[in-house]
Structures are given as C-alpha cells and as structure tokens.
Amino acid sequence: MWEIRGLLDKMVGGVGLQRGRRHPIDVKAGDSIDFWRVLAVDRRAERMLLYAEMKLPGEAWLQFRICREADGNYLEQLAAFRPDGLAGRLYWYAMLPFHFVIFKGMAHNIIHYREPLIEKSLPPPQHSQ
C-alpha cells in the first residue's frame, strides 16, 4: 500500500509528499520544507526564499517577509512562476484560482500555528532553588 502511494506521490507531486522538515521552527538555507527547498533565510531582513521542487511545467519561487508597520505587523507572501512554454502558461492560469485559496491558507497557518510550535520546541523552564 505505502509503496503505491510513494510511487503516485513521485509521479504527481515530486518529492514533497515524501519528506517533512528537519526541525519545526529552525530553518536554514538548504533545508527542505515539504515541496520546497529553502534558498535563503535572512533573519535581519525577516525574509525567507523557497524554490519549488515539485514537478511543474516551469519553475516556482515563494518568498515570505515580515513587514513591520506603525499600525502592526503583517506577513507578505510573494509567489513567482516562470512557465516552460504553453504547458506552463496553461498550468499557471488553470491553477490561479486555487493558488489564492492555497496561499491564503498557508499564510493563515504560518501566523496562527507559530506559537504552539515555539512552545513545544523550547526546553522546559529551569526553576531556581
């Protein structure tokens, strides 16, 4: 059963369904996060750039940046796709409505599930005697 799923995952999605993450919150250049390869993590600029390693008719990048404003902070998400010929263009336009849903959900999950992951990954507090 698992062998069939693994074969289907590779044929349809590429490498992403088979791997997870090295660490839930510590991310470094070169890490894989599901379908993505981390190209750059700039903590000072609060920016992360990912490259898609899924099977696509083109190349895709995804950038996250934390923007700090006087009225609050927000997460900027930028997707870029370089289509490979007509198939790539058809893919992009066919997926466009779904990308709005997918990326909105991705941003929501990043924002709302960050705190529990941090709490789980921190060592227990040390009590002084």
pLDDT tens by residue, 7-24: 444 445 455 455 667 777
Q: What is the rounded distance in angstroms from the CA atom of residue 45 to the CA atom of residue 61?
A: 18
Q: pLDDT digit string (tens) for 38-56?
A: 999 999 999 999 999 999 9
In 3D space, the residue among 57, 51, 77 whose CA is nearest the CA of residue 66 turns out to be: 77
- Predicted TM-score (pTM) of the model is 0.70
Q: What is the rounded distance in angstroms from the CA atom of residue 8 to the CA atom of residue 13?
A: 8
